[in-house]
Amino acid sequence: MKDITKLIRRFVGILLLSTVLVIVLNIIILAAISASQTANGRPWTTAKETAEALQKTETGYILSGDMTERLSGENAWAIYIDNDTLEVKWHTENLPDTVPLHYTISDIASLTRGYIDGYPTYTGECENGLVVVGYPKDRYWKHMSPSWDYDFIKNAPYTVLIVIGVNVFLIFLIYMIANSKLLKSVKPITNGIQALPSGEPVYVREKGLLSDLAAKINQTSDILQKQKRNLQRKETARANWISGVSHDIRTPLSMVMGYAGQIEDNESLPESERKKARIIRQQSTKMKNLINDLNLASKLEYNMQPIHPEPVNLVAIARQSVVDFINLDMEEKYPIEWNTDEALTACAINGDKELLRRAIGNLITNSQTHNPDGCTISVCVRKSDTEYKIVVEDNGVGVTDEKLEKLRTTPHYMMSDSGTTEPRHGLGLLIVGQIVSAHKGTVSFDHGKQGGFTVTISFPIPKDSHTQ
């Protein structure tokens, strides 16, 4: 709806601006035309100058040569009427034959305001008489009754503004009426376009001026819905396949692990056979953990894994994870250092305790997996102004810049799918990313300060948290 309002405001703004520009342009053009029309000389001024240029001599009246040429250039004629006799005492050579040579007072009053035999005339006062200058009939139009009310003149600016306002309103009204159908068609179109990203079905009535565009929006919605259904079917099939395979493998795998454990514990067998059984059991355990990870990753991806948020302390969770791995490291190949500031005792967020422990445990396991010869693992919790951070770092073999870039850009953190035996970062880090994302956090990867590998988990500090 806001877009419709903006669109209407834009149209109205353009309309008003165009109207103002047109009015201003018309005024400028009118002024220019008026100036060009009056540039040739004003007839009343010409009549006055003619009267001044007319000189009385002993033989009669003589008009100066310059003024004679000027009147001839404008195809104008002139006469001089004596005050006493009201007779024409002088006239130019081009005086029309139809112009009378004797006048009454009424005739003079009439010619002063208007015409002589259809010729527009203008008067100039001369000594003992009146000079009349006449122009061609098609040269000037004279207003015979130039009388104006002072109130009308005083209110003229307001009248002009009212006229302009009425014109603008009429233009706007005509514009709105002419475009009402377009505006009615635009609203459902914009609503349909805004609804497309939501993933819900969209239908716009295919009528009006934009019916073709409405049809395209409906076609786009149908295509998106079809793609959504196909994707859901594929994802459901994949999730069901993973769940089914995991279920089918679990029972035979448990039997393999059980029999391998019995063989390993049978002291009557040679040590070499018991060692083989131990390897079988260890690898079976890895397979079992891999299946569990695969199931968990699938459930997290499709929001099938229930999250049980409750107030938890990240410091306590990380410390417990460290203690659990220290107790499991019988060979002491992977010593773990707890480098959290002793003053930081609590970092509270709302989260799932078991999933968060799983995420930290996966990071520690990742360091162990990629450093078979052993390494030192450091775990610490930090607090900034806006975030809690859990940093897991090792001083092992680390990763190359190329692999680090893949970890940062590959959506599922999968690496080394070339079929080699090189260790890869796979489901473990994928699950970490999914768990952290479910808690509105982020995961970042980098080289360790001692040449190893560093993973940082960041969680935003809750706004209502008062943890120190």
CATH of domain 310-460: 3.30.565.10
- Of the candidates 343, 446, 345, 442, which has an alpha carbon nearest to the alpha carbon of residue 393? 446
Phi, psi of 62 (to 5 degrees): -130, 135
Phi, psi of 119 (to 5 degrees): -90, 125
Q: Are 432 and 443 in contact (CB under 8 A)?
A: yes
**47-84 burial: b if 16+ Cβ within 10 Å, else e:** bbbbbebbeeeeeeeebeeebbebbeebebbbbbbeee
Angle between the 43-53 and 65-73 helix axes, to the nearest 10 degrees?
150
Beta-carbon count within 10 A of 312 CB? 19
Q: Strand 336-338 vs strand 377-383: parallel, antiparallel, or unpaired?
A: parallel
Which stretch of DSSP H or E encloses residue 68?
Answer: helix 65-73
Beta-carbon count within 10 A of 300 CB? 19
CATH of domain 211-301: 1.10.287
Cross-strand bridge partners of residue 128 = none
Q: How far apart are CA 175 and CA 163, in angstroms?
A: 18
Cross-strand bridge partners of residue 134 = 77, 121
Which stretch of DSSP H or E encloses residue 122?
Answer: strand 119-126
Residue 118 C-beta-side C-alpha neighbours within 13 Å: 6
Share in percent of the chain as helix, strand, coil (round to 5):
55, 15, 30
Q: Strand 336-338 vs strand 310-313: parallel, antiparallel, or unpaired?
A: unpaired
Q: How far apart are CA 4 and CA 188, in angstroms?
A: 10
Q: Are 336 and 326 in contact (CB under 8 A)?
A: yes
Which stretch of DSSP H or E encloses residue 192?
Answer: helix 156-195
User: Would you call 456 helix, strand, or coil by DSSP?
Assistant: strand
Q: Are 391 and 455 in contact (CB under 8 A)?
A: yes
Q: Are 122 and 46 in contact (CB under 8 A)?
A: yes
Tokens at 262, concatenated: 């019995």
Each residue's pLDDT, cut to its tens digit, for the chain (468 residues) gives 455 566 666 777 777 788 778 878 888 887 777 666 554 458 999 999 999 999 988 888 999 989 999 999 999 999 999 999 999 999 999 999 999 999 999 999 999 889 999 999 999 998 889 999 999 999 888 887 777 788 888 888 888 888 888 877 887 787 777 666 666 777 787 788 888 888 788 888 887 667 788 888 889 988 988 888 888 787 777 667 766 777 677 778 888 888 888 888 888 888 888 888 888 887 887 777 777 777 676 666 666 556 778 899 999 999 998 998 888 766 788 899 999 999 999 899 998 888 898 889 889 988 988 898 899 999 999 999 899 999 999 999 988 888 888 888 765 544 444 444 444 446 678 888 888 888 889 999 999 988 899 999 999 998 766 444
